[in-house]
Structure 1
């Protein structure tokens, strides 16, 4: 938990610095790219978390991977954390940065699991409903298809969930019958 708090504080500091230097969009893209690289390379994440790997080796690897590809703010930040022995929280900091950026810009992600692929009209309706309910300026819809739902959908936004699937309705009905019989 302390690591996540530190990552959140570092992310907030970087956002403030990036705003001050008019580089918020570039740094956001760097953080998204960094998170993607970590997602695709578990080895890099393991190296950053490993206390046995020397700091100069960690920085050398990051420098090799990101040299010339990230904004100077991002580069300096990565170097600072590595030099302070805090490279293990770099992944959490990148994730926290993106979350704080989204909150700052009014961007919400909606995860929709449906029995069939969403039509453009369904997608637009979900975006409109999420905007209305959350006050978001922009909504990204992550879509997943799961035939086991039989029909309907499950919508998750943050820690809220709306389940309008047939599977859920059948499970509720099954529980009611089981309680009525007993």
Structure 2
């Protein structure tokens, strides 16, 4: 089974439980912390995947690191580790967050720009594009990309809105050559 299929199954189970217990917000915020910790410390996933480390040691480390977290989050981490799915932890978190955002009517957007966007620009973009996507708001990740020359490139889900100068120049080039 692919990592994304596994991640979706675990995330869905955790999400259903979180909804049932009315703890979607808490679990989402805890999972975001777990994700940030794992992304900044690659050794943790390596440790959890290692066949040389005993299951009890992995459990003890996870319990020590995340003892203040929801038992649902901790048990999910333990379960993924026990089933040799440590590679699926971050994709599971991403899938859970996507489900949580969908429940709230929020879409995630990756915006490439030549400079960091101001809060006013983020709010304006969120307002316009949330309506286009039939969502209430956008959760924006701003990536600075000097190759764009100017303008913005916005990705929401599998849709891309390319308003960058580089994109327009490439379009003009295709039009002139084609």
Q: The residue matched to 1:70 in structure 2 has which SS?
A: coil
99 and 50 in structure 1: CA distance in 2 versus 1, 3 angstrom threshold: farther
95 and 122 in structure 1: CA distance in 2 versus 1, 3 angstrom threshold: closer
Structure 2: distance between partners of 1:121 and 1:76: 40
1:91 corresponds to which residue?
90
C-alpha RMSD of the superposition: 2.2
Structure 2: distance between partners of 1:118 and 1:25: 27
Query: Please, which runs of 5 or more residues in structure 2 have no aligned partner?
Result: none
Q: Tell me the CA shift for residue 5 of structure 1.
A: 1.5
Q: Higher Cα Rg: structure 1 or 2?
A: 1
89 and 165 in structure 1: CA distance in 2 versus 1, 3 angstrom threshold: closer
TM-score by length of structure 2 reads 0.86
Query: Please, which runs of 5 or more residues in structure 1 have no aligned partner?
Result: none
163 and 61 in structure 1: CA distance in 2 versus 1, 3 angstrom threshold: same
- Please show how residues 21-36 of structure 1 align to structure 2 within 5 Å: 21-36=21-36
Structure 2: distance between partners of 1:36 and 1:136: 26
1:105 aligns with 2:119: no
Q: The residue matched to 2:51 in structure 1 has which SS?
A: coil
TM-score by length of structure 1 reads 0.85
